[in-house]
Amino acid sequence: MKLRSLMLTVLLTVAVSYYVYTPLPAGLQEQWKLMALDAGFRTTIHLATVSHWLGLDHYITSIRKSIEGFEGLTKALVSSESSGGVIPGVKVSDITFSGVPVRVYEPPAGGEGHLRRGLMFFHGGGWALGSGKKGTYDTINRIVSDELNTVVVSVDYRLFPEVHFPAPYLDCLSAAKHFLSSNVLRKFSVDPERVAVSGDSAGGNLAAAVAQEIATDDSVLVKFSVQALIYPPLQAVDFHTPSYVQNQNVPILPRPLMVQFWLQYLHADPALLPQLLANNHSTPELRSRLDWTAFLPPRYQQDHPRPPVAPPHSAPSLLKAIPALLDVRAAPLLAAPQVLAKCPRAYVLTCEYDVLRDDGLMYARRLKEAGVAVTSDHLENGFHGCFSFISWPLEFSVGHEAVRHYVSWLQNNL
C-alpha cells in the first residue's frame, strides 16, 4: 500500500513538473516562478475554453472571474499595507469623464494655487481583460500620484467581447479630451503644461493612438506634454519580426495569444489565426509600410532572415476581411511622419523576452526620425507583463525595476 502511494506521488509529481516546466531563455531570472505563473495562466485559459465550449460562459468572462477570484484571495491573505494597496493621503474617486468610467487619484500635496502634474493611464489586458481600478494598476497609480504629486486618471474603457475596435480607442479619446479641457484641469489643479498619457501593453497601444490624435487635432487646445508607453503592441502587419519569432513561446504572451488578441480587437474571424500566424496577410503593400530591416538596431537583425517581398502564400483578400489592419488608430506604428512629428516627447519601455519588443523599438526609431525626443528604455532581462508583477505572490525583481524606471522618467520629464 505504501509502495503504491509512493509511486502515485512520484507519478503526480512528474506530471505536474512536466506541465509546469517550460524551456526559457537563459537571460530570464526567477525562472521557476515565471513557469508557475505561466502554468497558472495556461490552466485558466484551458478551463475557460472548456466552459465556453460547454456553453456555460464566454471564455473571456471565465478568465475575468478567475483573475478576480485570485486577486480577492491574495487580498485576503495579505494586509493592504504589505500589498501596497493603500497610500495614506491619496484621495480616490470613481467618476465618469464624458460617460466613460474613470478612477481619479489626487495626491495629498498641493491644493488651491498649487498646480500639479496630470497623467492619464490606460491599462493593459489585450483589449479584453483587466481594470484600471484593481490589482497592481491601482497600486502603481497610487504610487505615481503620491510620489510625483500627480493627479492620475485611470480609464476603464470598454472591452472585448462586449465591444470591438474602435470602441476602446474612442472611449480613451473621449476621456482624454474631457481631462484636457481647461475647466477640468482647473478643477483638479493640474498644470496644463505638464499632462502625460500612459499605458502598458494594449493600454500602451491606446496611449500612442490617442497621443497621435490629440497632437494633430487643432480643436484640442491643451496637448499632452509627454507619452509613456510600456511594451505596446503597435502593428498587426508582420508577426514574423525577430522578436515575434525569437520569443514566440515565451511566457506570458506567446505569439498565438497575441495574434488572437488582435483578431478579437479588430472584430475578425478567429478562424483566420493560422493565416496571420503564417503572415499570409502580409502583402507587398503592407511590407512597404513597415519594413523592420529599416527600423530595428543591427543587433536584432543578426541571424534573422530577411522577409520576402511577399510571403509565398500571401492572400490580399485578408486585408478586405480585416480592414482595420491598416487603420493607424489600431496600429500607431503605421502613422505618417508628419503625424509623428507632432507627437509629444516619449518614453518607450521594451523587454528583451517579449514578442512586442520590436514594435516598441521601431516606434522609438520612427519618432526619433520625425524629430521627437525619445527615451528608449530596454530591460535586458524583462518579459511581457513584468510591469504588473510587483506584489506578492506575483512579484518579480524585474517588475520592480520596470516600475522604478517608469516613475523616475516621469519624475524627470513631466
- Which H or E run includes 17? helix 2-20
> Average pLDDT of 177-203?
97
What's the pLDDT score for residue 289?
A: 78
Mean pLDDT of the chain: 89
C-alpha cell at position 57: 460562459
> What mean pLDDT comes out for the span 355-383?
98
Q: Is 122 left (phi over 0), alpha (psi -120 to 50) or beta?
A: beta
**228: which strand partners?**
198, 347
327 is an active site residue: no
Whole-number pLDDT of residue 80: 45
Residue 135 to residues 37, 80, 142, 156, 340: CA-CA distances in angstroms? 16, 11, 11, 13, 33
What local confidence, expressed as pLDDT, does residue 282 receive?
A: 79
Q: Is 201 a catalytic residue?
A: yes
What span, in angstroms and rounded, lies between the C-alpha atoms of 409 and 414? 8
The helix/strand count (H/E) of the chain reads as: 16, 10
Residue 222, Cβ neighbours under 10 Å: how many?
A: 18
Check pLDDT > 90 for residue 142: yes
Backbone angles phi, psi at 88, to 5 degrees: -55, 135
Q: Answer whether 101's CB lies under 8 Å from 94's CB.
A: yes
pLDDT recorded at residue 73: 64
Sign of the dihedral through C-alpha 152, 398, 360, 273: negative
Beta pairing class for 345-353 and 226-230: parallel
pLDDT of residue 283: 73
If 0-12 CB within 10 Å is exposed, 13-18 middle and 19+ buried, where does residue 413 land? middle
In the chain, the N- to C-terminal Cα span, in Å, equals: 68
Strand partners, 97: 100
Q: What is the pLDDT, as a whole number, of residue 104? A: 98
The residue that leads in pLDDT, 359 or 8, is: 359
pLDDT reported for residue 305: 77
- Per CATH, the homologous superfamily of domain 91-235+334-413 is Alpha/Beta hydrolase fold, catalytic domain (3.40.50.1820)
Per-residue DSSP letter, 71: H
Give the model's pLDDT for residue 15. 44
Question: Which of the four pLDDT bands, split at 50, 70 and 90, describes residue 138?
Answer: very high
Question: What pLDDT score was predicted for residue 310?
Answer: 55
Q: Please report the pLDDT score of residue 22 as a whole number.
A: 81
Residue 5: predicted pLDDT: 55
Whether residue 362 has pLDDT greater than 70: yes
| pLDDT value at residue 168 | 98
Asked whether residue 17 carries a pLDDT value surpassing 60, the answer given is no
Give the domain ranges of the chain.
30-77, 91-235+334-413, 242-324
Known catalytic membership, residue 146: no
- How many other C-beta atoms can be found within 10 angstroms of the C-beta atom of residue 163? 16
pLDDT at res. 83: 43
Confidence of residue 189 (pLDDT cuts 50, 70, 90): very high
Average pLDDT rounded to a whole number, residues 205-226: 98
Q: Of residues 397 and 281, which shows the higher confidence score?
A: 397
Task: Kindly state the greatest CA–CA separation across the chain.
Answer: 79
Burial of 208 per CB tally in 10 Å (0-12, 13-18, 19+): buried
Taking CA 75 as the corner, what is the angle to CA 228 and CA 408, rounded to the nearest 5 degrees? 25
pLDDT at 250 over 80: yes
More confidently predicted of 321 and 272: 272
- pLDDT above 60 (res 99): yes
Strands 150-155 and 116-122 come out as parallel
Most confident of 193-207, 268-282, 284-298: 193-207
164 DSSP assignment: -
Higher pLDDT, 216 or 40: 216
- What pLDDT, on the 0 to 100 scale, is given for residue 16? 47
Q: Which of 233, 332, 237, 239 is nearest to 283 (CA)?
A: 237
CA distance 137 to 16: 31
Segment 338-358 shows an average pLDDT of 98
Burial, 370: exposed, middle or buried (Cβ in 10 Å; 0-12, 13-18, 19+)? middle
The share of the chain scoring above pLDDT 90, in percent, equals 70
Q: Is the pLDDT of residue 115 over 80?
A: yes
pLDDT of residue 192: 98
| Integer Cα distance of 192 and 207 in angstroms | 18
17/204 Cα distance (integer angstroms): 35
pLDDT at 6: 52
What is the length of the chain?
Answer: 414
Catalytic residue among 154, 201, 282, 388: 201
Point out the catalytic residue in the list 38, 354, 358, 377.
Answer: 354
Q: Which residue has the cell 489600431?
A: 330
Q: What is d(CA 293, CA 81) in angstroms, rounded to the nearest whole number? A: 48
Q: 123, 178, 281, 384: which is the annotated catalytic residue?
A: 384
Residue 116 pLDDT level (bands cut at 50, 70, 90): very high
Confidence label for 112 from pLDDT (cuts 50, 70 and 90)? low
Three-state SS for 53? helix
Mean pLDDT along residues 205-231:
98
Q: Is the pLDDT of residue 314 over 90?
A: no
398 has pLDDT over 90: yes
pLDDT classification of 158: cutoffs 50, 70, 90 = very high
> What does the pLDDT look like over 32-91, one tens digit per residue?
999 999 999 899 988 988 888 888 889 899 898 888 877 776 666 655 444 445 677 899
